């Protein structure tokens, strides 16, 4: 497995692979790899001859310097995991390589970036769009694989690629969950035992809403009430948002759901009772409301 640290070296490697007729898949990550990332590599391996991984903790997408400093890093273990998973190459640039002195250019996707995580994290998706564009231009892959846990991020990237005519296929891979249902996340490493136990409130909330929708409940307020009740049962959890959105446009869902609807959650888990430190977790589920017998739902 090759380790590359400069854009030019990666571009040269890409040009050689393409000239040889080999298909490249890129899996962009911020490191601290877990089984969810490895599932992305597995999906990439099904779609390409060469699987490449980028490991770069992007400083511009953190709105809190303390959050950036606390973000888990395990570079040597990440390299071992990539090697064991069959990655042919890891791209691990320094910040100065991706953000040269005096850089003035950024990419911003409009409407899709505004709600949900974008409502409280100013500039976050501008930073995401910019770094993903730079990674795609550096690696020049045929396909790039992202996790569906970051549903809004995936929507923003797909829109950017479509709008700017990037010659790459964007693939979303399903959420990977722990045995108790919690979505795998690098941030889970920061949870203490009690916060980790209570964090399952997220998946319990999603399950409750999905069960109600499958039983024919289409009333948005009723579904969100069930979600908030589940989150409220976890004393360490502070709900940032629980919203129902159109899965394509991310516009607010109607009061009565008419079809597949994204339920997106963001929760801050306190790391100690009364403490100030928190870990932000997100999760989502696409609900598919069913009609009750007789053709109505409420």
Residue 294 lies in a domain: no
158, 236: one domain: no
- Per the DSSP assignment, residues forming a β-bridge with 243 are 264
29, 120: one domain: yes
111, 228: one domain: no
Residue 6 lies in a domain: yes
- Residue 296: predicted pLDDT: 45
- Residue 292: predicted pLDDT: 57
- Residue 12: predicted pLDDT: 98
CATH number at residue 261: 3.30.1300.10
Which amino acids are annotated catalytic? Answer: 37
**Cβ neighbours of residue 29 under 8 Å, at least 6 residues apart?**
37, 40, 53, 54, 55, 56, 78
- Residue 290: predicted pLDDT: 83
pTM for this model (two decimals): 0.95
6, 149: one domain: yes
Indicate the pairing of strand 89-91 with strand 2-4.
Answer: parallel
240, 282: one domain: yes
- 8-state DSSP, 142: S
Number of domains into which the chain is organized = 2
Q: Which of 244, 233, 227 is nearest to 287 (CA)?
A: 244
CATH number at residue 75: 3.40.50.620
Residue 295 lies in a domain: no
CB contact at 8 A, 265 and 201: no
Q: Which residues does the chain have with pLDDT short of 50?
A: 293-297
218, 97: one domain: no
Domain stops at, among 143, 173, 203: 173
Residue 178 lies in a domain: no
Q: For residue 78, give its domain range.
A: 2-173
- Residue 272: predicted pLDDT: 85
- Residue 295: predicted pLDDT: 43
Residue 102 lies in a domain: yes
126, 58: one domain: yes
- Residue 293: predicted pLDDT: 47
- Residue 54: predicted pLDDT: 98
């Amino acid at each position: 497995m090759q380790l590359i640290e400069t854009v030019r070296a990666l571009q040269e490697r890409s040009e050689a692979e393409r000239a040889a007729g080999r298909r490249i898949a890129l899996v962009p990550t911020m490191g601290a790899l877990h089984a969810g990332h490895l599932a992305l590599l597995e999906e990439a391996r099904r779609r390409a001859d060469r699987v490449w991984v980028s490991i770069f903790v992007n400083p511009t997408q953190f709105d809190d310097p303390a959050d950036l400093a606390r973000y888990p890093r395990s570079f040597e273990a990440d390299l071992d995991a990539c090697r064991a998973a069959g990655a042919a190459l890891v791209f691990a640039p320094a910040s100065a390589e991706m953000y040269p002195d005096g850089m003035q250019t950024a990419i911003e996707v409009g409407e899709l970036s505004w709600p949900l995580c974008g409502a409280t994290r100013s500039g976050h998706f501008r930073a995401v769009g910019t770094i993903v564009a730079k990674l795609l231009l550096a690696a020049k892959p045929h396909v790039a694989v992202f996790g569906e846990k970051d549903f809004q991020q995936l929507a923003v990237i797909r829109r950017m690629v479509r709008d700017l005519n990037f010659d790459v296929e964007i693939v979303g891979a399903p959420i990977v969950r722990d045995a108790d249902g919690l979505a795998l996340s690098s941030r889970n490493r920061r949870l203490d035992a009690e916060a980790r136990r209570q964090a399952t409130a997220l998946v319990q909330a999603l399950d409750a809403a999905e069960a109600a929708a499958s039983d024919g409940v289409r009333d948005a307020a009723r579904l969100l009430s069930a979600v908030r009740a589940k989150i409220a049962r976890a004393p360490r959890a502070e709900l940032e948002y629980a919203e129902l959105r159109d899965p394509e446009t991310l516009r607010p869902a109607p009061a009565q759901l008419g079809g597949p609807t994204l339920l997106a959650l963001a929760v801050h888990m306190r790391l100690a009772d009364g403490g100030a430190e928190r870990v932000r977790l997100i999760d989502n589920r696409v609900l598919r409301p069913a009609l009750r017998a007789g053709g109505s739902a409420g």
